[in-house]
Structure formats: structure tokens, C-alpha cells
Amino acid sequence: MAILVLLRHGQSLFNQEGRFTGWMDIDLSLRGREEAARAGRLMKNSRLDFDIAFTSVLKRAIRTAWIVLEEMDRMWIPLLPCWRLNERSYGALEGEKKWETEKMFGASQVHLWRRGFSERPPALSKDDRRYPGWDQRYRDIEEKDLPRTESLQDAMQRILPLWQGQILPQLERGRGVLVVSHGNTIRSLVKHIEGISNEDIEKIEIATATPLLYEMDEPMRLVRGSLTSLLAGEKEG
């Protein structure tokens, strides 16, 4: 049976500091590395196996994937980084402390930017060094595809071509697929897979380095698996 695991990266340095991260390339904290190792051990002990892994092009996701695959003794499987799996762009909020933005714009407005489906934070200007057009890893991406800000809806539209063109076909071939990405990227995929409404997606939280397991059933539908119960035991231990 084909399986899919969606895994948010471990805690990053900006997570630790309470900052908006988005497309900024921030590494894992020490705690984040430990979280990634624990997730890898959990999946190995649960006898999960993967044939291929996908990740974003941001180091916090890539390093999480490295650590997980090392723990699982699967560093030899293909690991495919893709910009479409990057976190949603938080625009001009990137790098800012969340409590400071709440003080500036109001907590309710910041909540809408963070949790809503269609709300976009203030945009970056193209001369801002945080704009991805300055980063050589995106030199082959068309300018129209480089975000200056994004809503969750925008991020979902960016991600779905990769899902439909590369990830889903692997599952349909019976492969085990690991996707290591970011909180809002995974929220987008969960919304798509489970058919969650625009309103209810606001309530979905994606914890760091906490595997979400889906299994492909006979009608070729993805259904939520049972790893969550195993995770609860891992956390308590």
C-alpha cells in the first residue's frame, strides 16, 4: 500500500525567537535538530519506509529531511528539493517579531494574516533584499511566480502543480513518499487531501516535526493513517 507522510521541519531559529520566517532561509535550532531525529526514529520504529522524498529549497526543511533519512537509514533514496514546497511568503512581515507586528497592526489583523485563507500580509517591494528575485536559487523561476506576499490560497495554488505532477503519481505507483516542508505548505496539502473548508482550515495547526500519515486505499483515495496515536506516546515518553 502506498503511504504519504507530511512532515513540517523541526523548530527553526526564527520559530525559537517568535519571528515570521516565510521564504527567509533560516536554519534549525538545536531543539529542531532533536525534533527531526525523534521523528525519524518514530517512523523507523513504526516500520514506515519511503522510496522518494520531496522538500523545499530552504535549509530548515532540507536539514530536517537529512536528519530523518539518516535516522531511518534511507539517505540513499532520491531527495528532490522544489521551490513550490517553500513556506508561504509573509511579505514585509518576514524577519519581524510576531508580538511587534501585533502591536503595530493589531492582534486580530495579524491573526487573519497568519490563519486566514485569502488574506495577504503587506507585500515586499522588489528592491527589498528579502525579495526572492535577489536569491540565485530562484534564477530560473519566472518573475511572475516569485511572491512578494502570499495568502494561504496563493501558496496552495503554487504547490498543487507539484502535487498533481510529481507527488500524486508516485503514490499511484504504490510508492512510499515523504514530504518535508513548512507549516502553511502542509496546511495547504491537508486542506486539499481532506477537503477541508476555507473556514475550518483556520483551525488546523501543524506542529514541528510531527509526522502526518496518509494511506492510499483501494479507490485510490488518501485516508489519514494511525501514526498520530504513536506520536502521542512518543511525546509523553
> Quick one: cell of 123?
507585500
Alpha-carbon dihedral 11, 17, 22, 24, rounded to 10 degrees: -100
Catalytic residue among 35, 87, 94, 150: 87
Query: What 3-state class would DSSP assign to 197?
Result: coil
**Whether 8 contacts 209, CB under 8 Å:** yes
**Whether 150 contacts 88, CB under 8 Å:** yes
Residue 219 Cα distances to 6, 95, 172, 216, angstroms: 21, 44, 11, 8
Comparing CA positions, the residue from 43, 20, 34 lying closest to residue 63 is 34
**Whether 1 contacts 215, CB under 8 Å:** yes
Q: Is 87 a catalytic residue?
A: yes
Q: CA 93, 57, 131: angle at the middle one, nearest 5?
A: 35
Q: Is 70 a catalytic residue?
A: no
Catalytic residue annotation: 9, 87
